[in-house]
Copies of this chain bind each other. A is one copy, B any other.
């Protein structure tokens, strides 16, 4: 195996050890030594792959987010039928979703939007681990400029993508309130809603099923004029 690939594979193994800790007892007071023990390697070896705790945290966060992205793309891909399928799965780019919708190809924007949002809730074991890791990061990021920067860049990008889906739906006359709907405001409300629904699911205030029903109730209202 080429050296670079091996290096990356090792970093992934360490990231997975970190997730196991984050999802079972949180990142509260977790040291590089704890992660090395969980990954079954020496502290020196871990430091060969990650020089600092921050570097390791950031790598592990980006990787778990990209896995979540991939799962959501697959779910959107599964929605698509006919020749347009597959191309509608690029959740990273707003414009392509818009032009697809205009061309009448691919799944309807509401369905894509719903898959994205449901994919962010802790509804199965994989997404549950992802949200547990996310929650552990959140608590750190509040006091960590570098991690906060990650959110400050990522969230507006996600909001812009969701807004583009809402804009497409509005063009198609599928949203409630007609022209009055402000896509970016609604996108930020949706992201915040999912975030809070996730928190109260992780705390056991509601079940995942109840969280999903509540999200659907909100979507029904957003798309009521259909």
Contact = CB atoms under 8 A, between A and B. Distances in A.
Contacts of A217: 182, 185, 189
A139 B26 contact: yes
A28 B140 contact: yes
B24 A143 contact: yes
B203 A152 contact: yes
Interface stretch (A8-16, A103-111, A194-202): A194-202
Interface stretch (A36-44, A61-69, A92-100, A130-138): A130-138
A188 interface: yes
Nearest to A145: B204
A81 interface: no
Residue in A28, A192, A196, A205 whose Cβ sees the most chain B Cβ within 10 Å: A192
A151 interface: yes
A75 interface: no
Contact of A141 (B182, B194, B203): B203
Interface residues of A, number: 44
Contacts of A191: 196, 200
A25 B139 CA distance: 10
Contacts of A162: none
29 contacts: A24-B143, A26-B143, A27-B139, A28-B29, A28-B143, A29-B29, A135-B139, A135-B142, A138-B139, A139-B139, A148-B203, A148-B204, A152-B203, A152-B205, A155-B203, A182-B217, A185-B213, A185-B214, A188-B206, A188-B214, A189-B193, A191-B200, A192-B195, A192-B197, A193-B196, A194-B196, A195-B195, A195-B199, A195-B200
Interface of A: 24-29, 132, 135-136, 138-143, 148, 151-152, 155-156, 177, 182, 185, 188-189, 191-197, 199-200, 202-206, 213-214, 217-218, 221
Given A28-B28, A155-B205, A188-B200, 15 more contacts: A26-B140, A135-B142, A139-B139, A151-B200, A152-B204, A177-B221, A182-B217, A191-B196, A192-B195, A192-B196, A192-B200, A193-B193, A194-B196, A195-B200, A221-B221
